[in-house]
Every structure is written in structure tokens, then in C-alpha cells.
């Protein structure tokens, strides 16, 4: 009971819970729409070229599903923009000079493009030429990708802040921009952006794959679903292999720029010594060891520089109060990596069956493909948890602590109220989304 009382009166903890909740629920949808927008452009393009009605049918089906998913992303996304000011007023005052501009740019360059042209893509088919319709699909795709760019710029600046100076403002200090290109292209932007975009493509591709596999399992001669699989299965393998490379580059980036975070990823304690690479394990914060683990000696050094004896900065180089929640970070990071390899495995397997011409007859692999959407979804969520929880206790790495960032005027009760409201409506929305999606998919199965 005492613990419960402490939790419900802890503004900082509640504000973090609120952010984690709304951000992770939001992040179910944009990756799907980013990946799906690419697929829609592809089939709209194929339709424009071949004039084959099967592409038209496929495009109509997926555009409608896109719209349903998109609206979920929009409504949960507005909450994100509002809550920087609502829950994190001191962060907003301190970093708004740098952090606000990418958010505004995201709206101006990305959201408008995506939203306005989605209206045409959805409702315009009988009013505009096929070429213009293709162009609308292209603009929706461009908008979706641009929004990823700007939000990653903003987030990467919180991970690896550059291009600013601290200036006195009123009674306190704030960060002001000193070098725009250093803010935009801060040390982690490029690798994190490519990692996120590929993760989103995988989410979209497996979304198509899962639904199509389900349709084929239900009804064998489902030719639009077969076509979708033929397009998406090879893409699935290619993108998952690219992600392996980009993920690796991303880890090297963390090694260079955020050594404390890397130490938490890998459960590496010793101050400056070769670090073991754990395949799995359980981090014991008190005893400062990893239990029940299986590891490759010197594996971290081997991966980042090819030298297993490379000394790696460990957790003990930092004061213990500055350590993030070690198991949350360690486990989510390892779940992400394990899923990444599982995805590659499934990609190889399904491509093999596709080339052999046996994919549509092999039930067990169709069943696996039907579940494939969970892979990138869980990996994306886990990756973000590792990235954000791994940055703690900093809200801006090395510059501002999360404890200094929340809104002092917002009481714990108010945050509890908002957590309750958003949890309720999000659960309701999720139920409706799944219900409508299932209805749409099975309805298509009967025609």
C-alpha cells in the first residue's frame, strides 16, 4: 500500500508513465503507414504501367486499410505534440529554442502533405486522372517519410545534443541554437533515422504479409493476396538484411556517443575492460553482474572494432545514481536483436519457398507469416524502450535530467486523470481498430 501511495503521488514517475504509454501506443501506427505508403506507391505505379485491374483492386483494398490506420496515428499523434508542454513544461522552456522548430517543420513539410493528399488518394479516384492519383500516393508516401525525418532529428538531438549553447534567460538558463546543421545532422541522426525507417518498412511489409497470408489460408485461390505476397516476401528479406547492417552501425554510434547507454545495453559493469556480448541474461544491479547469461568473451569489442580485447567503458565508470533501469534496457535491447534475427530467418525461409513455388501450398509457413507482423512491431517498441529508457536519467543526454524537466504546476492527481482518460480511450480505439480491420479483411475474402 505504501508503495502504491508513493507511486500515485510521484509526479515524475507518473509523467514518465504517461509519456511511455501514449508514445508506445502511438508508435503502433505510423510505422505501418510509413511502410504501407511505400507498398501503395508500388502497386499504384504497377497499375499505371500495366492497367491490370488486379493492381487496382489491391490498391483500393490497401488504401482503405491505410486510411483506417492513418487516422489512429493522427489522433494519437496530436497528443504527443500537446504533451511536451503539458507534462514537460520545464523541458519545453529549456529546449524549445531547438526542439520546437523540427516539430513545426514536421507539421509544415510532412503532415500537410500526407493529410491533404490522402483526401485525394481516398476520395478522388473518380475525380482525378490515374496519373494524378499515383502522384497523390507518392505525396502521401513522401509526407509519411518526411515526418519520420523531423521527429528523429528532434529525438536524436535529445540523445546526442550538438549545435547549441547554454544562455542565461530570466532566472535560469536555456539551450539556444548555435549551429543549425549540427542540430539537424547531430552525431546520431543519420544512423537512427535509417534504423527507424527500415523498422517502419518492415512493420508495413509484414502487415501486408500477415493479412495476405491469412487470406490465402482462408481461401486458397485468393489471387490479390498471392500477388501481395509475391511483391512483399522478397522485399521483406532485403529490408531485414539491410536492417542488420544499419542496426549494427547504430550500435557503433551508441558505443561512440553514449557509452553509459551501451554499457546498459550490454550489461557491462567493469570500468574499462573488454566487454562480453550476452545473447541473453539477467542483470543484477546490486551484485553488479549478469546472471544466467550466455556470452561471447570480448564480443562487444569484436563487433564495434574487430578487436575482442578493446577496453569498453562500463557502468562502474559512472556514479550508480546515474544508471538507467538496467534490466528494462538490457532485456528490451536483447528482445529487439533476437527478433531482428528471427525476422531474417523467416525472410530467408519464405523466400526459399516462394522461389521453389511452394509458398502458397505450405501451411505452416503461411501460419508463421501470418504472425510476422508481431516481429517488427515488438522489435520497434523494444528498440524505442531501449533507446529512451537507456538515456535515463537524462532527458537530454548529459545536459538536462528528467527530474528537472516535468511540469511543476501539474499535480500527480491531474496526471493520473490523464493516464486514466488516455488508457480508456486507447483501449476502446484499439478494440475498434482490430474489429474493423478483421471485418474489412474477411469481407474482402468473400468477394
Please report, as residue ranges, which positions from 113 to 142 form the binding site for another protein (by CB under 8 A). 113, 115-120, 122-128
- Does 74 participate in binding another protein (rule CB under 8 A)? yes
Query: 3-state DSSP call for residue 161?
Result: coil
Q: Using the rule CB under 8 A, which residue among 82, 256, 291, 311 binds another protein? A: 82
Distances (CA, A) of 308 to 246, 263, 266, 330: 21, 16, 14, 21
Q: Report residue 411 as a C-alpha cell.
A: 499535480
Q: How many CB atoms lie within 10 A of CB 222?
A: 19
> 55 with 130: CB under 8 angstroms?
no
Q: Are 273 and 314 in contact, with CB atoms under 8 Å apart?
A: yes
Cβ at position 24, least distance to another protein in Å: 16
Residues that bind another protein (rule: CB under 8 A) add up to a total of: 73
Helix 189-218 and helix 363-370, axial crossing angle in degrees, nearest 10: 130
Q: Among residue numbers 387 through 416, which ones bind another protein (CB under 8 A)?
A: 407-410, 414
Task: State the minimum distance, in angstroms, from the CB of residue 377 to another protein.
Answer: 21
| Cα distance between residue 112 and residue 119, in whole Å | 11
Q: Does residue 104 interact with another protein by CB under 8 A?
A: yes
- DSSP state, 393? T
Which of 134, 269 has the CB closer to another protein?
134
The reply on whether position 341 binds another protein by CB under 8 A is no
φ and ψ at residue 280, rounded to 5 degrees: -160, 175
Among 12, 13, 48, 89, binds another protein (CB under 8 A): 89
> Which window, 51-59, 65-73, 196-204, 283-291, contacts another protein (CB under 8 A)?
65-73
Residue among 7, 166, 279, 421 that touches another protein (CB under 8 A): 421
Query: Which one of the spans 164-172, 227-235, 313-321, 374-382 is the region binding another protein (CB under 8 A)?
Result: 164-172
CA dihedral (123, 124, 130, 131) positive or negative: negative
Per CB under 8 A, 436 contacts another protein: yes
Q: What residues have CB less than 8 Å from 234, skipping those under 6 apart?
A: 351, 354
Question: Does 76 sit near another protein (CB under 8 A)?
Answer: yes
The reply on whether position 439 binds another protein by CB under 8 A is yes
Polymer length in residues for the chain: 447
Q: Is 90 in the site for another protein (CB under 8 A)?
A: yes
Interaction between residue 173 and another protein (CB under 8 A): no
Q: How many C-alpha atoms does 76 have within 13 Å on its Cβ side?
A: 28
CB nearer to another protein: give 294 or 436: 436
Least distance in angstroms from the C-beta of 151 to another protein? 11
Rank residues 365 and 444 by Cβ distance to another protein and give the closer one.
444
Among 99, 207, 333, 397, binds another protein (CB under 8 A): 99
Grid coordinates representing 35? 511502410
Q: Does 44 bind another protein (CB under 8 A)?
A: no
By the rule CB under 8 A, 167 interacts with another protein:
yes
CB of 98 or CB of 339, closer to another protein: 98
Interface with another protein, residue 429, by CB under 8 A: yes
Q: Which of 45, 96, 234, 308 binds another protein (CB under 8 A)?
A: 96
Q: Does the protein bind another protein through residue 86 (CB under 8 A)? A: yes
- Virtual CA dihedral for 383, 388, 390, 395, nearest 10 degrees? 170
Range 85-121 burial, b when 16+ CB lie within 10 A, else e: ebbbbbbbebbbebbebbbebbeeebbebbeebbebb
**Which of residues 119 and 345 has its CB atom nearest to another protein in the complex?**
119
Burial (CB < 10 A; 0-12, 13-18, 19+), residue 202, is buried
Quick one: which of 171, 320, 321, 357 contacts another protein (CB under 8 A)? 171
Q: How far is the CB of 64 from another protein (least distance, A)?
A: 9
Least distance from another protein to the Cβ atom of residue 401, Å: 17
* Options 45, 85, 187, 234; binder of another protein; rule CB under 8 A: 85
| Shortest spacing between CB 440 and another protein, in angstroms | 7
Q: DSSP characters for 33-51?
A: HHHHHHHHHHHHHHHHHH-
Amino acid at each position: 500500500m505504501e508503495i502504491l501511495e508513493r507511486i500515485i503521488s510521484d509526479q515524475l514517475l507518473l509523467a514518465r508513465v504517461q509519456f511511455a504509454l501514449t508514445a508506445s501506443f502511438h508508435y503502433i501506427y505510423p510505422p505501418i503507414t510509413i511502410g504501407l505508403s511505400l507498398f501503395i506507391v508500388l502497386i499504384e505505379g504497377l497499375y499505371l504501367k500495366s492497367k491490370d485491374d488486379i493492381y487496382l483492386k489491391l490498391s483500393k483494398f490497401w488504401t482503405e486499410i491505410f486510411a483506417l490506420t492513418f487516422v489512429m496515428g493522427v489522433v494519437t499523434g496530436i497528443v504527443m505534440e500537446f504533451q511536451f508542454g503539458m507534462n514537460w513544461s520545464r523541458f519545453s522552456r529549456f529546449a524549445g529554442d531547438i526542439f520546437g522548430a523540427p516539430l513545426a517543420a514536421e507539421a509544415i513539410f510532412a503532415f500537410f502533405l500526407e493529410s491533404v493528399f490522402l483526401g485525394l488518394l481516398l476520395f478522388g479516384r473518380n475525380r482525378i486522372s490515374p496519373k494524378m492519383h499515383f502522384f497523390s500516393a507518392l505525396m502521401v508516401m513522401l509526407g509519411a517519410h518526411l515526418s519520420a525525418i523531423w521527429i528523429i532529428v528532434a529525438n536524436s538531438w535529445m540523445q546526442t545534443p550538438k549545435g547549441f549553447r547554454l544562455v542565461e534567460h530570466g532566472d535560469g538558463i536555456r539551450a539556444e541554437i548555435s549551429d543549425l546543421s549540427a542540430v539537424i545532422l547531430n552525431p546520431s541522426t543519420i544512423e537512427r533515422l535509417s534504423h527507424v525507417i527500415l523498422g517502419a518498412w518492415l512493420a508495413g511489409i509484414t502487415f501486408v504479409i500477415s493479412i495476405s497470408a491469412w487470406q490465402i489460408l482462408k481461401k486458397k485461390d485468393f489471387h490479390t493476396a498471392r500477388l501481395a505476397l509475391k511483391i512483399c516476401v522478397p522485399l521483406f528479406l532485403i529490408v531485414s538484411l539491410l536492417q542488420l547492417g544499419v542496426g549494427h552501425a547504430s550500435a557503433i554510434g551508441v558505443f561512440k556517443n553514449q557509452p553509459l547507454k551501451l554499457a546498459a545495453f550490454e550489461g557491462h559493469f567493469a570500468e574499462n575492460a573488454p566487454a562480453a556480448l550476452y545473447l541473453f541474461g539477467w542483470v543484477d544491479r546490486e551484485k553488479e553482474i549478469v546472471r544466467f547469461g550466455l556470452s561471447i568473451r570480448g564480443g562487444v569489442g569484436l563487433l564495434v572494432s574487430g578487436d575482442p580485447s578493446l577496453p569498453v567503458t562500463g557502468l562502474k565508470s559512472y556514479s550508480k545514481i546515474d544508471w538507467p533501469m538496467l534490466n528494462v534496457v538490457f532485456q528490451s535491447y536483447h528482445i529487439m536483436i533476437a527478433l531482428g534475427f528471427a525476422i531474417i530467418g523467416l525472410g530467408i525461409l519464405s523466400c526459399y519457398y516462394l522461389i521453389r513455388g511452394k509458398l502458397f501450398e505450405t501451411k505452416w509457413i503461411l501460419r508463421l507469416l501470418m504472425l510476422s507482423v508481431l516481429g517488427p512491431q515488438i522489435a520497434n517498441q523494444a528498440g524505442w524502450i531501449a533507446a529512451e529508457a537507456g538515456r535515463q536519467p537524462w532527458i537530454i543526454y548529459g545536459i538536462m535530467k528528467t527530474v528537472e524537466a516535468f511540469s511543476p504546476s501539474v499535480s500527480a492527481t491531474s496526471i493520473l486523470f490523464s493516464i486514466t482518460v488516455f488508457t480508456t480511450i486507447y483501449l476502446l480505439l484499439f478494440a475498434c481498430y482490430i474489429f474493423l480491420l478483421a471485418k474489412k479483411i474477411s469481407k474482402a475474402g468473400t468477394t
